Amino acid sequence: MSKLYKNSGVDVVKTDQLIVQALKFIKSSHNKNVLGNKLGFSAEYKINKDITLCSATDGVGTKAILAAELGLYEGIGQDLVGMCSNDLLCNKAKPLFFLDYFACSSVIPKQYTEILKSITRACKKIQCALIGGETAEMPSLYQKNHFDMAGFLVGLKLKQKRLRVKKNDLIIGVKSNGFHSNGYSLIRKIIKDNKINLKKTKIGKKKLSDVLMQPTRLYHELLNESDLKKIKALSHITGGGVISNFKRSLPKNSKFEINLPSLPQEYKFIFDNIKITEKELMEVFNCGIGLVFVIDKTYYRHFINKKDFSLIGEIN
């Protein structure tokens, strides 16, 4: 993992090691209905031979701090839903219901309402019900208008034929909508160290503040049930970047080659303000690709004709 990311306060390697150790006792709570392993993007619980429930939980990280400092909340709820729903999509599950947890110093009505409306809009986009949540006021933990939130999503997965990943299969990438919800500890460090005014600085014709607060793309909107039947493996590209997240969806020891398209315009902001290699960049950010999946080459035309879909590699 990038030293730059660690220096910004995020030590993914340490946390992963702790999770591996914790799994030794966590698994003692499992029964025969718990499927999969720690590498899955969402958890699976078998109800019967035909139905499996999938669940995912996530947050928006320190993008929440940026939202509070800028007073921009319109998309942060979609970030929360997207971080969960895109993980669920990797297990080919249809979203059923969502719950949110919101924590702050003291509820600010306008902020609170805008965030809940954002969550609701995102749930409606993926035909998911926002059925409940929890609000906590903790003035000793949160300062001023800062907040944190977490989401929990449950989906339904019906029995389907398992497709084997094999040599010469194609790797398709789907464009992201900016940085999504990852790498913001490093982004905020860059902003602070370089004293960048987010509302005056521009990326192309857009304010940097608007670019950084673009919401996470909801990939359930781009792939239907028929598409999913043609896909062998899916990966949601979040923290850790393209390569490490893609490996999570593949059989052990799989070999592949990936060549990403040119970096989107917003990455100029990163290169202009910090010394970073492309390898480090790919370990922190999605680099313009938010979803990656594997298909048999016979389905190439079906997917490549879709907007924002591109061929980025092949299984060796």
Does position 5 have pLDDT exceeding 70, yes or no?
A: no
The residue from 123, 158, 193 where one domain ends is 158
In a domain, 247, yes or no: yes
Residue 121 binned pLDDT confidence (cut-offs 50, 70, 90): very high
Q: Tell me, what's the pLDDT at 100? A: 98
Q: Are residues 75 and 128 in the same domain?
A: yes
Of the two residues 26 and 312, the one the predictor is more confident about is 312
Q: How far apart are the first and last CA of the chain?
A: 25
Q: Are residues 271 and 243 in the same domain?
A: yes
Q: For residue 228, what are its two tokens? A: 């999913």
Q: Is 96 exposed, middle or buried (0-12, 13-18, 19+ CB in 10 A)?
A: middle
Q: Are 79 and 216 in contact (CB under 8 A)?
A: yes
Average pLDDT over residues 287-315: 97
Q: Report the phi/psi class of residue 71: left, alpha or beta, with left for phi > 0 and alpha for psi in -120 to 50.
A: left
Give which of 66, 71, 59, 111 is closest to 216, Cα–Cα. 59
Quick one: how far is CA 20 from the chain centroid?
21
Quick one: how far is CA 180 from the chain centroid?
7
Residue 1 binned pLDDT confidence (cut-offs 50, 70, 90): low
Does position 38 have pLDDT exceeding 70, yes or no?
A: no
Per residue in 42-63, pLDDT tens?
Answer: 999 999 999 999 999 999 999 9
In a domain, 2, yes or no: no
SS3 16: helix
The torsion angles phi and psi of 171, rounded to 5 degrees, stand at -110, 120
Q: For residue 88, what are its two tokens? A: 């669920």
Q: Are residues 223 and 105 in the same domain?
A: no
Place of tokens 């982004």: 187
Q: For residue 260, what are its two tokens? A: 């990403």
Does position 281 have pLDDT exceeding 80, yes or no?
A: yes
Of the two residues 35 and 111, the one the predictor is more confident about is 111
In a domain, 12, yes or no: no
Of the two residues 19 and 194, the one the predictor is more confident about is 194
Residue 13 binned pLDDT confidence (cut-offs 50, 70, 90): confident
Q: Are residues 59 and 132 in the same domain?
A: yes
* Least confident piece of the model among 30-39, 65-74, 227-236, 276-285: 30-39
Q: Are residues 84 and 212 in the same domain?
A: no
| Percent of the chain at pLDDT exceeding 70 | 96
Per residue in 189-247, pLDDT tens?
Answer: 999 999 999 999 999 899 999 999 999 999 999 999 999 999 999 999 998 889 989 99
The residue from 158, 190, 215 where one domain ends is 158
Q: Tell me, what's the pLDDT at 305? A: 93
Residue 20 binned pLDDT confidence (cut-offs 50, 70, 90): confident
Q: Are residues 62 and 191 in the same domain?
A: no
Q: Are residues 176 and 311 in the same domain?
A: yes
Q: Are residues 35 and 119 in the same domain?
A: yes
The torsion angles phi and psi of 134, rounded to 5 degrees, stand at -145, 135
Q: For residue 311, what are its two tokens? A: 């061929």
Q: Tell me, what's the pLDDT at 58? A: 96
Residue 283 binned pLDDT confidence (cut-offs 50, 70, 90): confident
Place of tokens 């040599």: 167
Of the two residues 13 and 80, the one the predictor is more confident about is 80
Q: Are residues 77 and 149 in the same domain?
A: yes
Measured CA to CA, the distance from residue 109 to residue 264 in angstroms comes to 36
Does position 110 have pLDDT exceeding 70, yes or no?
A: yes
Paired with 310 in beta bridges are 173
Q: Are 243 and 254 in contact (CB under 8 A)?
A: no
Does position 151 have pLDDT exceeding 90, yes or no?
A: yes
Measured CA to CA, the distance from residue 1 to residue 240 in angstroms comes to 7
Measured CA to CA, the distance from residue 103 to residue 110 in angstroms comes to 15
* CATH number of the domain residue 302 falls in: 3.90.650.10
Q: Tell me, what's the pLDDT at 183? A: 92
Does position 131 have pLDDT exceeding 90, yes or no?
A: yes
- Expressed as residue numbers, the domain containing 42 is 31-158
Does position 7 have pLDDT exceeding 70, yes or no?
A: no
Average pLDDT over residues 93-122: 98
Give which of 106, 102, 190, 181 is closest to 149, Cα–Cα. 102
Q: For residue 199, what are its two tokens? A: 């509302």
Q: How many domains does the chain have?
A: 2
The residue from 158, 180, 210 where one domain ends is 158
In a domain, 8, yes or no: no
